[in-house]
Structure 1
């Protein structure tokens, strides 16, 4: 568990409110697609916003806002500060973090790439406990035969589908999915 003070950033994006919590080393929690900053705080398990600054906070906010505005940006440059996992978890996180914008892999493909053929379900377990969706882009990991699998972000599979459609089809948030956004932001 981290003993460094937590820094929070809560901000509005075209796809709802987003929040990050992290330390001076990087992001350890991310949530998005909320209707208010208060929902973000509740999801992060915090009572108030911390105004402390760190080197990663402003650039990370800008990159996430750009991504959620349908700009193809590289979110893998945002530093992370996750508690250490098992060798398997670390390997899976590293592979998924490198899946490029607009591409997907199946749980089985991730398992094979990690050197654990037959461990697709275990990959799914690692993804289901991902505290930083988008930064470890678990929405880009699919079930067999293109099935969506699960997604723990607010609005679940509807949000996963929206993110994948946004990336794969090059859709403009303003014109093509504005009707879907009403599902996420009121």
Structure 2
């Protein structure tokens, strides 16, 4: 399989890149620039151009394109497992060799993880610089500890600049609108007919009042009749 090669200038010096049509194969510091092929663009060359753009974006402060870049490294099954685990370390964070060993299901293989790191063929895109010692010290980086420190500080700044979701803003007119709505509800309640229980109570009161009025009628009639009988009795006794 033919590879396309090129070099890029970065804040850390020149890096040489090689790509296949599947993905990026190599990325490593270079002492001198690598000439870019000028023949007809092949799938490998298109992948190489994508890789160059992703590295440029990374050094400009956005790591998303590099994190999504297809890779095609050459290595053993164990090394591939380690390299995949390295790509899963979140931007702006680090992990120890022992942690990577546990993540791939080989808790006793911290030393072998370190060897896979050392043999990483794609610097930065496979972020072996995010692996640190168990005590938190910066150790073991093929590109040198100065580059490792620069990369970690750069990624910390990139992670800090990533946008976060903000809480939705509440309109200042909303409380007034709610108050107006409540006032409208109160007015609507006042215009509603009285509840059934109030109508029932009123009906009962009216029936009670009517009954008492009817009972007063006969009593008013009986009083004059009794007075008339007493008068008749008095007249008879005379």
Normalization by structure 1: what TM-score? Answer: 0.74
- 5+ residue gaps, structure 2: 160-238
Alpha-carbon separation, structure 2, partners of 1:91 and 1:103: 19
Q: Following the alignment from structure 1 to structure 2, what is the Cα–Cα distance between the partners of residues 150 and 84?
A: 19
Matching residue within 134, 138, 144 for 1:144: 134
In 2, Cα distance between equivalents of 1:66 and 1:49: 19
Match of 2:48 in 1: 57
- Which gives a bigger RCO, structure 1 or 2 (Cα 8 Å, sep 6+)? 1
Contact 2:82 2:116 in 1 (8 A): yes
How far apart, CA to CA, are the structure 1 residues paired with 2:89 and 2:33? 26
> Partner residue of 1:105?
95
In structure 2, how many angstroms separate the alpha carbons of the residues matched to 1:105 and 1:10? 30
Q: Indicate the residue corresponding to 1:16 in structure 2.
A: 13
What is the TM-score of this pair, normalised by structure 2? 0.59
Two-structure CA RMSD over aligned residues (Å): 2.2
Summarize the alignment of residues 148-167 of structure 1 with structure 2, pairs less than 5 Å apart.
148-153=138-143, 156-167=144-155
Paired residues in the alignment total: 156
Bigger proportion of residues as helix: 2
2:32 alignment counterpart: 39
> Which residues of structure 1 form unaligned runs of 5+?
42-47, 172-186
Which has the larger strand fraction? 1
> Partner residue of 1:67?
58
Which protein has the larger Cα radius of gyration, Structure 1 or Structure 2? 2
- Contact 1:7/1:51, CA 8 A, preserved across alignment: no
